[in-house]
Amino acid sequence: MKTYDFAVVGGGLVGSAIAYGLAKAGHRVAVLDEGDVAYRASRGNFGLVWVQGKGLEMPSYSQWSMSSASLWPSLSEELWDLTDVATQHQAPGGVHLCYSQREMDLRQADLTSLAKATGGQFDFAMLDHQQLREMIPEIGESVAGASWSRWDGHANPLYLLRGLHAGFLRCGGTFLPGSKVHRVHQRGDSFVIEREGERVQAERVVLAAGLGNRLLAPQVGLHAPLVPNRGEILVTERMRPLLNLPTTYLRQTGEGSILMGDSHEDVGFDEGTETPVLSHIAQRAVRALPALANTRIVRTWGALRVMTPDGYPLYQASLSHPGAFVACCHSGVTLAAAHAKRLAPWIAGDSLPSEIAPFTAERFDVQTVIPA
């Protein structure tokens, strides 16, 4: 059996970014992915490269996100050079819309404390209705204002995934689609990854299987207490340019369609859509941009976020099974550049990026001890 340097379990955005980073550095890497239908958060997400408001309770998450946002242009460029796939990445800054003065005040307080906690690295501005209107001429009357941050942007998540896959193949990676991995175990100095009718051997293994990590992590001495969290998204037909910068729940794609949605639903493994939720998303979108009222919806969908108990990422090397790693987060687009350019080198043996030191699973144990 051929032994790879690394086997990455999971061909979504997290796994593909890490695998791409590893392959680009010259390692022999295999990605094991499922078949055509699976819980694929990476194919259902919104496409923000987003910083503002993230990490209110954990400033290192904000710093990690900023690091990735800074690395995004170079990731996008190298994927274009390598594969001709354009991620449509743009970083014009982004806004979070507020519908009342009270929302404005709360937002300002949150972001001020975040700016402080990051030593001023994160910066933002509050915009009143008039200032916002200068940026988005068709903004609705009932929008009070917004917070704006230069750190924010967006990209096409599907083209990012396609570019990472193509780049990975270009760098000599081996892509093995087919079925779910059900067993990972150590044998001698290497790992054996098993799935229906197939075994793959690698010196090191990276578990990036999204919600699938829950069952795989314990097999190599790791802990991944993940839960699905559903988000529903709507996409419209193509429109004239209407929104030249992304907002937290509304963005115009490179093709001209408008994407909307930011629901957070605890519904287990149900990827469906619910009319009341969709209806609410539509109401808010029309409030933000009244011109959308007569726009046709092409498709709606639900996708499952990969959530840790506190919502922050989980990156960890196994102590009991040296060479095994787990990586999960629900911001696969934002963090793609950091995963390819900073996390992958750590997995390959470099020192740990300082921002991610807190993102181990031990923090969940502490939380369960402290009474709520």
Q: Applying CB under 8 A, which of residues 1, 2, 36, 196 lies at the interface with another protein?
A: 36
Residue 170 near another protein by CB under 8 A: no
Residue 28 near another protein by CB under 8 A: no
Contact 162, 18 (CB under 8 A): no
Closest CA to 256 of 247, 243, 275, 267: 243
Residue 162 near another protein by CB under 8 A: yes
Pairing of strands 29-32, 174-176: parallel
Residue 198 near another protein by CB under 8 A: no
Q: How far is the CB of 285 from another protein (least distance, A)?
A: 6
Q: Applying CB under 8 A, which of residues 80, 99, 301, 364 lies at the interface with another protein?
A: 301
Cα 206 from chain centre: 17
Q: Applying CB under 8 A, which of residues 217, 282, 314, 327 lies at the interface with another protein?
A: 282
Which pair of structure tokens corresponds to residue 256?
A: 């001209």
Q: Applying CB under 8 A, which of residues 272, 357, 367, 368 lies at the interface with another protein?
A: 272
Q: Applying CB under 8 A, which of residues 43, 129, 214, 363 lies at the interface with another protein?
A: 43
Contact 314, 329 (CB under 8 A): yes
Dump the DSSP string for 235-292: EEEE-SS--SS-BSSEEE-TTSEEEE----B--SS-----HHHHHHHHHHHHHH-GGG
At residue 361, what is the residue type? A
Contact 326, 356 (CB under 8 A): no
What is the distance between the alpha carbons of residues 86 and 156, in angstroms, rounded to a whole number?
Answer: 9
54-93 residues in contact with another protein (CB under 8 A) are none
Burial 280-303 (b: 16+ CB within 10 A, else e): ebbebbbbbbeebeebeeeebebb
What is the distance between the alpha carbons of residues 277 and 263, in angstroms, rounded to a whole number?
Answer: 7
Nearer to another protein, 161 or 243 (CB): 161
Nearer to another protein, 275 or 351 (CB): 275
Angle between helices 157-170 and 59-83 in degrees, nearest 10: 60
Provide the 10 A C-beta neighbour count for residue 264: 11
Residue 180 near another protein by CB under 8 A: no
Nearer to another protein, 28 or 280 (CB): 280
- Stretch of residues binding another protein (CB under 8 A), selected from 114-122, 139-147, 168-176, 363-371: 168-176
Q: Applying CB under 8 A, which of residues 171, 222, 292, 333 lies at the interface with another protein?
A: 292
Residue 141 near another protein by CB under 8 A: no
Q: Applying CB under 8 A, which of residues 92, 177, 218, 268 lies at the interface with another protein?
A: 177
Q: How far is the CB of 32 from another protein (least distance, A)?
A: 11
Closest CA to 264 of 227, 230, 312: 230
Residue 30 near another protein by CB under 8 A: no
Nearer to another protein, 234 or 335 (CB): 234
Residue 23 near another protein by CB under 8 A: no
Q: Applying CB under 8 A, which of residues 286, 346, 348, 363 lies at the interface with another protein?
A: 286
For binding to another protein (CB under 8 A), which residues are involved?
A: 11, 33, 35-37, 40, 43, 158, 161-162, 165-166, 169, 175-178, 234, 236-237, 255, 272-276, 278-280, 282-283, 285-286, 292-301
